């Protein structure tokens, strides 16, 4: 079990290292459980141990946790990554490639909300590229329910909002005399 558990952790580190953006627990868990490496409980324990050892970092939004490998995690992977067989690494690479669209959707569209100083809520919706926001929209709304609704609708509306903003902001301006 101990050797197998080490493999689970190395799979998580390898997966996070191969992607330039943070990943959700679900994407990595789906791989490990879907390929019958282990069960959900063991995946949770592996994540907990990696977090405790500062080999991965977690950042949370209101409804999703995003994980990324730390420099210490990269160093660990360099030292022990050869424990993963070439077949496992290739299988992970194929999984990431096959699920590329879903992965991009999950890690590039981020939404969150918080209570602001005037008692209202600010919903923040971001379009990320390589973990850097390339488009961000912040809306102040009177109640938490509206903030949650904005966050939930961001994924479906992001393409249209981004395209509209770029089109309108990059259009030529008319000079007036």
Domain with CATH 1.10.10.10 in the chain: 2-98
Contact 11, 88 (CB under 8 A): yes
Does the pLDDT of residue 162 top 70, yes or no? yes
Does the pLDDT of residue 26 top 60, yes or no? yes
Count of positions (residues) in the chain: 177
User: What is the pLDDT, as a whole number, of residue 175?
Assistant: 61
30-78 pLDDT per residue, tens: 889 998 999 999 999 999 999 999 999 998 877 778 899 999 999 999 9
pTM over 0.85: no
One of 3.40.50.720, 3.60.40.10, 1.10.10.10, 3.40.47.10 is the CATH number of 2-98, namely 1.10.10.10
């Amino acid at each position: 079990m101990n050797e197998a558990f080490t493999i689970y952790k190395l799979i998580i580190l390898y997966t996070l290292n191969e992607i330039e953006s943070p990943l959700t627990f679900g994407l990595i868990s789906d791989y490990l459980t879907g390929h019958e490496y282990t069960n959900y409980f063991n995946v949770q324990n592996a994540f907990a141990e990696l977090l405790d050892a500062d080999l991965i970092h977690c950042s949370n939004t209101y409804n999703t946790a995003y994980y990324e490998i730390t420099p210490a995690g990269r160093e660990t992977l360099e030292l022990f990554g050869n424990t993963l067989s070439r077949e496992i690494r290739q299988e992970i690479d194929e999984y990431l490639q096959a699920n590329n669209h879903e992965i991009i959707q999950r890690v590039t569209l981020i939404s969150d909300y918080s209570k602001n100083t005037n008692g209202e809520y600010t919903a923040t919706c971001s379009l990320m590229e390589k973990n850097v926001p390339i488009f961000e929209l912040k809306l102040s709304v009177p109640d938490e329910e509206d903030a949650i609704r904005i966050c939930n609708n961001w994924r479906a509306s992001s393409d249209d909002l981004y395209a509209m903003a770029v089109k309108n902001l990059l259009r030529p301006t008319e000079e007036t005399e």
